[in-house]
Amino acid sequence: MLFTLRLADHSDVSLLQKLIPLSVRELSRDVYTADQIESAIVHIFGVDTQLIDDQTYFVVEASGVIVGCGGWSKRKTLFGGDQTKSRHG
């Protein structure tokens, strides 16, 4: 299978908002309780559109389908997506 890496753009956001919770639930199920996983989805994991604007958020595609995402920030933020906008830049 061929994987490609590209910068995410705002047209990807709705799909990523579905992919991230699926990923968190699957990858965390053997480590965390269901309540912990759902709390992490609400408070920690999510799409950060500021990183898309900064061009530091990427998606990985397999056969044209997004299968992963992630990014980095030069800003003073520990974690979180748009749902945790109470941070300092």
What does the alpha-carbon distance between residue 65 and residue 63 come to, in Å, rounded to a whole number? 6
φ/ψ bin of 66: left (φ > 0), alpha (ψ from -120 to 50), beta (otherwise): beta
In terms of Cα–Cα distance, which of 34, 53, 45 is closest to 81? Answer: 45
pLDDT for 84? 62
pLDDT for 76? 72
Strands (E), the chain: 3-7, 57-62, 65-71
Place of tokens 């990985």: 60
Whole-structure pTM value: 0.80
pLDDT for 89? 47
| Cβ atoms of residues 37 and 27 within 8 Å | no
| Cβ atoms of residues 81 and 47 within 8 Å | yes
Instruction: Please give the average pLDDT of every successive group of 10 residues along the chain, which has 89 residues.
Output: 96 96 96 96 89 95 96 73 59
